[in-house]
Structures are given as structure tokens and as C-alpha cells.
Structure 1
Amino acid sequence: MSAPQVPSSRPVVPRILEGKLAIVTGSARGIGAAIVRNLASKGCNIVINYATKASDEAASKACAELEKDFGVKAIRVRADVSQRADCAKIIEASKTHFTDSQTGKLQIDILIHNAAVVVVGPLESIDEGDFQHIYSINVLGPMLLTTACIPHLPTDRSGRIIMLSSINPKIGTLNTSLYSGTKGALEAMARVWCRELAERATVNSINPGPVMTDMYLRAPEEARQSLAPWNPLTPLSRVRSSDSPEMREIGDRLGGRPAYVHEIAGVVGMLCTPESGWCTGSLISANGGLSFSY
């Protein structure tokens, strides 16, 4: 006869981000979608932001999955962060769904700047339209959305702002003058904001290298080849038997594999925890060792 079950006297420990709120731009798919899953698994409520009607279905499905799988509240907001009015739309939607019923206030604990567009080509191919387009989304967008969020950030340094930069400005990848310029700007902005917002939030950047996303798979082969010479020098890019068949094929062909989206999301999730509260203004390696944090 089995022994009777003795009720545990240990208290139930809430998840590390239980009840917090995160706004993640560009999070209907790809790296952003992996980030919201990571944060939701830690108990965080989520605002999925995306820019186009084509992502409505993916965003709705993601919200339903986050609520079912992790018991959090998730909403979607289609908005172009390069427009001040659309940034206000994100805040208003957040107020509607996440205002504290007792205090009457909205608190935005985490802000992840992930949305970006990519324009590549040699220097002589750049035109003013491409410049205005990529800088308005990749640089002006984070400025405007952060500005809109400031009144709602915590006042005890517990907030987290994270910029998704790239390995490209670090190593000077060919044909990325515009894209690398915008990502270098994000890194510089993080260093400024970490001082301006020191009593509200930490502000850090991460710099992924190649990542196994739909965008990566749809990119021209020459784009993947431009980073291939770095793969043998990247400590964690070696293909292993546990990798997926698709990942093994790419890794064998290019001399090393890209990251899985969950590996990038894991670095973001780490920086969002209370344990990362003494880290700010930093560029954290999220590229398997292609470039080191120092």
C-alpha cells in the first residue's frame, strides 16, 4: 500500500517575470516570435507588435498560443513604429488591456526593439529613398516608441530595454552600409539611454549573427555566403548530430550553422531577469562567439 501523500509546505514560487508586461516589436514571426515565447514562459504578459496586415493571422495565432501554453495575457497591435501616432496606438492598447485595476496605472516593464528592415547593396547603389526608409524604421522607430513608453516605465530600475543589433556593424559585412549603419546607431543609442533612463530601466544591445529565420532562408545565396568565411571561426557554429536536417545541410555547406531563434531569444530573456540588473549600456554577444562581449 502506498504511503499517503503529505502536502508540501514549500511556498509556490512565481515565475521570474510573473505579471510583468513586455512590448516586443516585429514579434509576429522569426526572432521576435521566439522572444515573446521565452518571456511568456517566464510569466510575462505580452504585446505583439507588427507592421502589416499580412501578419494579422500569425499574430492572432501567436497570442492564442501564448495564452494557452503559458497562462499569460497577450494582445496584438498592428502599428508602424516609425509613426508617432502609431506608437501612441500601442500605448493606448496597452492601457486598455493592462492598466492595473488597483492603481489605475499602466507599467511597461520590458521593451524589445526587434522590428527592422534590411536593405543591402554596394555603396554606389544606395539612394535617398532607401536611406530614409531603413533609418525611419530601424532607428527613428525605436526612438519614438521608447519616448512613448517613458511615462510608463518603472521608477525602481527594474525596467528592461533591449536593442536587437547585428554582427554586421562589428565585422563590416560587405554591402551592408545602410543596414549596418542603422544597427550601429542602435548600439550608440543604448549607451546614451542607459544614462538618461538609469533610474527607470537598464538598456542593452545584443548582436546576433546569422539566424535560421524565414528571412534568412529567403535571402539570396550570396548574402549567406558573405558571412560564410566567419563560420569556421565561430566556436559554437560547428554542426552536431542533434541539429535538424535542414540546419545540418546549411551548416555543412557554409562551414558552420546559423543560430536557432530560441538561442537568440534566450539571451534576450536572460537580460530581462532581475539578475541582470547590474548590466547596462552593454553590447552582449549573441552570435556563438563570432564576436566576443568585452
Structure 2
Amino acid sequence: MSKVVLITGGSSGIGKSIGEFLHRKGFTVYGTSRNPDRITDSVFPLLALDVRNIETIKTAIADIITRSGHIDVVINNAGVGITGPLEEIPTAEIKNNFETNFFGPIEVMKAVLPQMRIQKSGLIINVTSIAGYMGLPYRSVYSASKGALELITEALRMEVKSFGIEITNVAPGDFATNIASGRFHAPVVAGSAYEAVYGTMLKTMDTHVDEGSNPLEMATAVYAIIQTPNPKVHYKVGAFMQKISIVLKRILPDKVYEKMLMNHYKL
């Protein structure tokens, strides 16, 4: 019997790559999209789900259980990017980012945990970000929402371990996906105190994504995690310098690390 996998945000980017890879490996894969009818090239079923809407989460999970009888793996991949000087990001956009990147995955986990307890087994993989390990300039909200999900995962995995359920984080660096086109950019405001620096930074961030790694690297990493009997708390996937930045943050004095980041971003 093949394992049943649910991937939120499975219609494009990293989620689609993971879904296609697992599908080829023989898993029964269900992806989600806010508008699945618009997607015509998916090799696995796409269910309607918006992580900001609890009813759509419950409906999609009930649909999978009806079709397949169980859910073995949930990959909380749906997320959105956001950039801008914190002072100039509308509060509504900050809240929307947390609704998608933080509260959404929580609601997915709440909805699937009862089924996994019945099964006495299950694996939840939360896709966070290397940006969640540090406060990055002009990406403050994104760093905060992904960092919050990292910590929630650390706590929740201890709460559910006795039920036979495993939860882990996988933090990607920059990957060549369409996340840059889908994220919210606070506009570069003419005459703003941040105009020159933020305008340059925005171009740099887009370049990093365009030159990012192949999403297939994330797919193979997730496959390896699924095959692991006792997953680690944290996994990092990305370029060496992105992963080593986490180590440097842990060992360097705060101000030295801050200065390193500021030099990197030419601030």
C-alpha cells in the first residue's frame, strides 16, 4: 500500500517539484491550490484549499480520507514572500503573511492530527526557510513568520511523539521558483528614507531567487526525510554559504554577525 501524501501549495514551485518526484516514486500524492481548476498540467490530483480558510482545510483532508482511507505524510509547503522596510509595509499585509506562513500551517496540522492519532502514525514536514533563522533586512516579516513556524514545530513534535507522529522542519535557501513574482513587495516610495537602499536590495533579492538552486534538490531531500524512521528536528537545504550562515549566527557575537550581514547586503 503506497503512502498517501498531502502537499499544500502543490501547483507550482517547490511544492510541484516535490509532488512530481514523490508521484514518480509511487506515492499517492494530493496537492492543493486556491484555484485548482486553473491548473491543467498537474500529474497528481489538486484539491481546493486556502490555508487562510479553515473550512477548505477540513474539506480537503476529509476528501483525502474518503478517497484513500488514511494520510501518512503532510507537507506544509504553501507560503508567500514579503519584502519591504518594516515601517512601510501595510499592517494588513503583515497579518496576511502570518495567516499564510504561520497560522495556515497550524490549522492544517490541527486538522490532520486526529486522523494520525487514529492511525498511530504520521509525518508532518513544515517547509520553513533559512531566512527564518535570522532577521534579514527588508525581509523582516518573512523571517519572523518562518522563524515562528520553526519554533512551533520544535514544541509540537514533543507533544505528539507519544502518538507515533513525527514532525520536522525543512528550511530551504534560495531556489529558482516563481516565489518572487508571487510575493508582496512594499513599493519603492519616491522620496522615502529607504528609497535608494530598498530599491537596490529588491533587485538583489530577485537575482538571488533567479540564480537559486534547482527545486529538485528540495524534492530529493523531502523524499529522504520520508524514508527516515526517526527524522531530525531541523533540516537545511540550499547553497553552502546559506547553510553556513546559520552556523555562523550560532557561534559569532551578535554584533559581529550583524556587521557581516550588513556588509553582505551593502548597508
TM-score under structure 2 length normalisation = 0.77
SS in 2 for 1:160: strand
Q: Determine the C-alpha separation between the residues in 2 that align with 1:159 and 1:96.
A: 17
- In 1, are the aligned partners of 2:10 and 2:46 still within 8 Å (CA)? no
Q: Which runs of 4+ in 1 moved over 6 A?
A: 217-221
Q: Give the Å deviation of 1:155.
A: 6.1
Give the distance between the partners of 1:216 and 1:127, measured in 2 at CA: 19
What is the CA distance between 1:28 and its match in structure 2? Answer: 0.5
- 1:44-82 deviations in Å (ceiling 9; x for gaps): 11111112x3x5232x421xx3xxxxxxxx422111122
Q: Deviations over 1:207-264 (max 9, x none)?
A: 1111111234788884462497xx8xxxxxxxxxxxxxxx9xx6xxxxxx41101011
2:204 is aligned to 225
* Distance in 2 of aligned mates of 1:82 and 1:165: 17
Provide the residue aligned with 2:41 in structure 1.
61
Q: Match of 1:201?
A: 165
- Residue aligned with 2:138, SS: coil
Larger Rg: 1
Partner in structure 2 of residue 254 of structure 1? none
Distance change >3 Å, CA 90–CA 202, structure 1 → 2: same
Shift of the 223–260 alpha-carbon distance from structure 1 to 2, 3 Å rule, reads: farther
Q: Per the alignment, do residues 173 and 226 of structure 1 end up closer, same or farther by CA in structure 2, a change over 3 Å counting? A: farther
Residue 139 of structure 1: aligned partner: 102
Report the TM-score when normalising by structure 1: 0.70
Partner letter of residue 204 of structure 1?
T
**Corresponding position: 1:265 with 2:248:** no
Instruction: Tell whether 2:43 aligns with 1:92.
Output: no
Provide structure 1 residue ranges, at least 5 long, that are not aligned to the other structure.
Answer: 1-17, 66-73, 100-106, 232-246, 251-256
Aligned: 1:123 with 2:74: no
- Call closer, same or farther: CA 1:150–1:96 in 2, change over 3 Å: same
Provide closer, same or farther for how the CA distance between residues 48 and 135 of structure 1 changes in structure 2, counting only shifts above 3 A: same
Structure number with the higher helix fraction is: 2
CA distance in 1, matches of 2:21, 2:121: 18
Q: What residue is the counterpart of 2:130 in the other structure?
A: 167
Structure showing greater relative contact order (alpha-carbon pairs closer than 8 Å, 6 or more residues apart): 2
When the two chains are superposed, the root-mean-square deviation of aligned CA atoms in Å is 2.6
- Identity among equivalent pairs (%): 23
Gaps of 5+ in 2: 186-199, 248-267
Q: Distance in 2 between matches of 1:84 and 1:187?
A: 21
